[in-house]
Amino acid sequence: MKKVLRSASSLALLLSLVACAPLSLDFLRPQAQGLDTMTQKVGHEAPELAFSFEFDDKADAAEGEVGSGYIVVTQDGKELQALPHAFEMPRERLDASGWLQFRDFNGDGLLDFKVTRLYAMDGKLPVDSLYQFDPKTGRYAQIDLVSNAGEIQPSAPNCVSLKVAGASGSPKVESHCYVAASGRWVRGTPAAARRGAAPDRVDAVCDSGAPELVACRRARIEQDKALLTLVRDYRAGRMQSLQAEHGKSYAQSYARHQDLDHSRWREYRDARCATQSREQAVPVKALPASVELCRYEWARDQLRRYKDQMARLGEVKGAKVRQ
């Protein structure tokens, strides 16, 4: 059913084109440079899963790139989940038979996987995503704390290093570790993680299945703080580039407008979430928690977008330095 829904728009387009004029159907055949299906046993008592990549309608939208689609996870031929992903890299830079890298990143005895979106070439940092297997659900979930920001590499047991582009364009390295006691990834040294340090405040979670007011409000506040920090880092990086290209006044004007845009975004988010919760006829007692959950999710998504922009800003600066 999921595959039928994802293919509906493609079929509609095909039928309309065929009705207008004769059309070669060669493009419907499997892509010659597609990705091989990978099979992996997740753990001793966990099932063997198959991983394939299903292109969407936007595949090859950028000339020479692999394109976007879904990482489809199946067990015994039954689809378990479809994870959206885009390979923004030349086809020749992607290993068709090893496009996922399996490893027990969090040390729970079950294999997680890393996948690259942007490839390291011409001095650029790759941009990776980390997906962790959840034995309770039998599904994979993306680790937002480290994904879509830079290059992820295993370091100490249960830890990864994350190399990201700093505001100046030069790379910086962060350490992130998994704390089994809390079930969270935290930012910090392996020693801090072994001592059972409290989860990184950025990684606070509001349970979307059963939102609770205090927990959701705390998570939303910490997400807003993390987002504001990243907004400021991005603004500083952009100002350096704009000042070099257009002068100090232009850069300062950009900074003022960027601050204003972020403030307006928060105001719109808060108002929209309040309206959305009322429109969904949420019970009065549950309304505050529902609003906080909505605000938390908006902040989380905005944080992902700024991580992506920071990664791209680092690429642009790196290219200018090489020139």
Averaged pLDDT, 218-234: 86
Between 192 and 142, the more confident residue is 142
The amino acid present at 106, given as its one-letter code, is N
Contact 315, 124 (CB under 8 A): yes
Residue 307: per-residue pLDDT: 82
- What is the value of pTM for the model shown? 0.57
Exposure string (b/e) for 203-227, b if CB count within 10 Å is 16 or more? Answer: bbbbeeeebebebbbbbbbbbbebb
Cβ neighbours for 143, distance < 8 A, ≥ 6 positions apart: 130, 131, 132, 185
Report the pLDDT averaged over residues 179-195. 72
In angstroms, the Cα distances linking 5 to 31, 56, 141 are: 20, 11, 22
Which of these, 155, 152, 47, lies nearest to 110 by C-alpha position?
Answer: 47
Instruction: Inform me whether the pLDDT recorded for 136 exceeds 80.
Output: yes
Q: Rg for the chain (alpha carbons), in Å?
A: 22
DSSP 3-state assignment of 153? Answer: strand
Task: Look at residue 162 and tell me whether its pLDDT is greater than 80.
Answer: yes
Percent of the chain with pLDDT over 90: 20
Q: In the prediction, which pLDDT does 29 show? A: 34
Q: How much is the pLDDT for 25?
A: 37
Q: What is the pLDDT of residue 17?
A: 45
